[in-house]
Amino acid sequence: MTPQAYDVKLEIFEGPLDLLLYLIKKEDMDIKEIRISEITQEYLTYIGLMKELNLELAGEFLVMASTLLQIKARMLLPQDSVSVESEEGPDPQADLVAKLLEYQKFKDAASFLAQREHQSRELFYRNILPTFSEEDFTLDSTLFDLLDAFKDVLKNAGEEVKELLYEEIPLEHKVREILDLLEKQDCIQFSQIFFVAKPRRELIITFLALLELIRMKQVVAKQSEAFGEIRIYRLKESEPASILSEEKPENHN
């Protein structure tokens, strides 16, 4: 199974406003004073990475990219031209800031409710959950946290080795590798899943295997703080049958 043939569909997949808020917080910006040129470039970088990973990319992401480019182009125009244009319609940057502020309110409310649910689940169902007490790695990692960490993996891997892979590496093989690592220890660092000097294609398949395990609730990604180190924990003992099941030889007796 190749990355081109594998579409990742995750519950943790979030929308374009989530990505923008993530980038704004990561770059320590004020929502009302977004550095549009910087944010636009970062946003397009993430879009490019998601396309390369063959993640299911909703149309809203491309619409937002178009909006950011429109705002960036508008800022490069002479002020007189912008004043005339603003009389003809709403300011796209002001609209975007308003949407982000409103969306942040909903996210804060949802975060509060999720925290209450987590506390209730810890109270009644603690026995089926892993222990995250070590160094307080209790913050759930988002898809964008994982993408950000994977960007560092690709960067640290250096230049891609110019070689042809005659055999595709099955996704199932990488799933098993990750689970084998978690058999030996309670948790692993995100970077431990990847090894240096691997071709870019193999790194991508490994990352897709991790996303598949998260989707199937076999592992969970946790952080001690926002934008901090990511650790991967095994969530339960059962194996993802749809990924790992092997065809049994036919019985001819």
pLDDT at position 80 is 61
User: Per-residue confidence at 89, pLDDT binned at 50, 70, 90?
Assistant: low
Do 49 and 165 share a domain, yes or no? Answer: no
Do 120 and 165 share a domain, yes or no? Answer: no
> Final residue of a domain: which of 99, 129, 159?
129
User: Which of 167 and 1 is assigned the larger pLDDT?
Assistant: 167
Task: Kindly report the number of other CB atoms within 10 A of residue 232's CB atom.
Answer: 23
Do 62 and 82 share a domain, yes or no? Answer: yes
Any idea which of 30-44, 96-110, 136-150 has the lowest mean pLDDT? 136-150
Do 17 and 123 share a domain, yes or no? Answer: yes
Do 79 and 137 share a domain, yes or no? Answer: no
Measured between alpha carbons, how far is 148 from 179 in angstroms, rounded to an integer?
A: 22
pLDDT at position 136 is 58
The percentage of residues in the chain with a pLDDT greater than 70, rounded to a whole number, is 67
Do 5 and 120 share a domain, yes or no? Answer: yes
In a domain, 46, yes or no: yes
CA distances from 164 to 2, 155, 167, 199, 200 (A): 14, 20, 9, 9, 11
> Final residue of a domain: which of 82, 100, 129?
129
User: Residue 171's domain is classified under what CATH number?
Assistant: 1.10.10.580
Do 165 and 216 share a domain, yes or no? Answer: yes
Do 82 and 11 share a domain, yes or no? Answer: yes
Does residue 99 register a pLDDT over 70? yes
In a domain, 248, yes or no: no
Do 34 and 48 share a domain, yes or no? Answer: yes
Does residue 35 register a pLDDT over 50? yes
Do 38 and 111 share a domain, yes or no? Answer: yes
> Final residue of a domain: which of 129, 162, 194?
129
Measured between alpha carbons, how far is 205 from 216 in angstroms, rounded to an integer?
A: 16
Measured between alpha carbons, how far is 156 from 58 in angstroms, rounded to an integer?
A: 29
Structure confidence by residue, pLDDT tens digits, 126-167: 444 455 445 556 678 888 999 999 998 888 775 554 444 445
Question: What residue numbers bound the domain in which 113 lies?
Answer: 1-129
In a domain, 252, yes or no: no
Do 139 and 193 share a domain, yes or no? Answer: yes
Measured between alpha carbons, how far is 10 from 241 in angstroms, rounded to an integer?
A: 18
Residue 192's nearest CA partner among 167, 221, 172 is 221
* DSSP H helix total and E strand total for the chain: 9, 4
Domain count across the chain = 2
